[in-house]
Amino acid sequence: MSDDPHLTDAPGHADAPGHADAVAHHATDDHGDEHGHDDHAHGDEQLGPLDVPAWGAGILGVLLGLAVVLAFVLATSPVAPA
């Protein structure tokens, strides 16, 4: 085993591998119901509004990136003899 202090858990960390309840706590049928909430999904929360400027900027960025790819393809393609 290594003596590296970075490989150990923080003091008081109760979920260390090999503790008595490690298998039961991480069982495949555990969906977090005992904690009062579902660990995997939050179906009760509403989605926020659509951020149109952010999506527009993202789409514009993708289109500009494709334009750069097209420029590289055209610049590196062989020229047919005339």
Binned at pLDDT 50, 70 and 90, residue 69 comes out as: very high
Alpha helix segments (H runs only) across 10-51: 22-25
pLDDT digits (tens, 9 = 90+) for 6-41: 565 555 555 556 666 665 555 666 555 565 555 566
Token code pair at residue 45: 């929360």
Token code pair at residue 78: 């062989």
Task: Record the pTM.
Answer: 0.45
Q: Span 58-74, mean pLDDT?
A: 97
N- to C-terminal Cα separation, the chain: 71
The domain locations on the chain are: 52-76
